[in-house]
Amino acid sequence: MKKLIKFLKGVKKRMAQLNLSPAWDIYYMQVKTLFANDPEVNVIYDRDNQKLKLYVDNAEKAEALNKLMPAEKTWGNVTMNITVYPSNTSKTLTDVKMTYVEQFEAAFKGNQNFNFVKTINLLYNNPMTFVVFAPKIAQYYTDNMGDWNGFRSELYSDLAKEVFRELPGVYYCTDKVADNLTAWF
Provide the 3-class DSSP secondary structure of residue 32. helix
Provide the 3-class DSSP secondary structure of residue 76. coil
H or E segment to which residue 118 belongs: strand 114-121
H or E segment to which residue 13 belongs: helix 2-17
Query: What secondary structure letter does DSSP report for 70?
Result: -
Nearest 5°: the CA angle 106, 41, 77 is: 100
Nearest 5°: the CA angle 175, 180, 183 is: 125
- Residue boundaries of the structural domains of the chain: 21-184
- Paired with 116 in beta bridges are 132
The predicted structure's pLDDT at residue 1: 75
Task: Report, as ranges of residue numbers, the positions in the chain whose pLDDT lies below 70.
Answer: 8, 10-20, 88-96, 141-153, 176-185
The predicted structure's pLDDT at residue 118: 87
The predicted structure's pLDDT at residue 135: 85
Name the CA radius of gyration of the chain, rounded. 20
Separation between Cα atoms, residue 51 and residue 70, nearest integer Å: 12
Task: Kindly report the pTM of this predicted structure.
Answer: 0.77
The predicted structure's pLDDT at residue 16: 61
Provide the 3-class DSSP secondary structure of residue 59. helix
Q: What are phi and psi of 49, to 5 degrees?
A: -105, 5
pLDDT, tens digit, for every residue of 1-42? 777 777 767 666 665 655 667 888 888 988 998 998 889 999
The predicted structure's pLDDT at residue 147: 55
Separation between Cα atoms, residue 21 and residue 128, nearest integer Å: 35
**Residue type present at position 48:** D
